[in-house]
Amino acid sequence: MLKTRLAAPIVAFAAPLLLYDGALVSQFGFGLHPCEMCYWQRWPHQAAIVLALLALLLRANDKAMRRLTLLAALAIAISGAIGIYHAGVEYGFWEGLTTCATGGGGPVSLDAIMNAPLIRCDTAQWTLFGISLAGFNAIFSLGAAALVLTLLRRGTTSTV
pTM over 0.75: yes
Asked if 62 contacts 104 with a C-beta cutoff of 8 angstroms, the reply is no
Query: Which pLDDT band, with edges at 50, 70 and 90, does 157 fall under?
Result: very low
**pLDDT score, position 133:** 84
Which is nearest to 15 in space by CA: 133, 151, 157, 145? 145
Query: Which pLDDT band, with edges at 50, 70 and 90, does 105 fall under?
Result: low
Mean pLDDT of 18-42: 90
Query: Which pLDDT band, with edges at 50, 70 and 90, does 158 fall under?
Result: very low
CA distance 33 to 70: 31
Q: Given a cut of 70, is residue 132 above it in pLDDT?
A: yes
Tens-place pLDDT, residues 77-91: 999 999 999 899 888
- Which residue would you say has higher pLDDT here, 28 or 34? 28
Q: Given a cut of 50, is residue 1 above it in pLDDT?
A: no
Q: Given a cut of 80, is residue 92 above it in pLDDT?
A: yes
Asked if 117 contacts 33 with a C-beta cutoff of 8 angstroms, the reply is yes
Query: Which pLDDT band, with edges at 50, 70 and 90, does 36 fall under?
Result: confident
Domain extents in the chain: 4-154
CA distance 89 to 139: 16
Query: Which pLDDT band, with edges at 50, 70 and 90, does 159 fall under?
Result: very low
Q: Given a cut of 70, is residue 23 above it in pLDDT?
A: yes
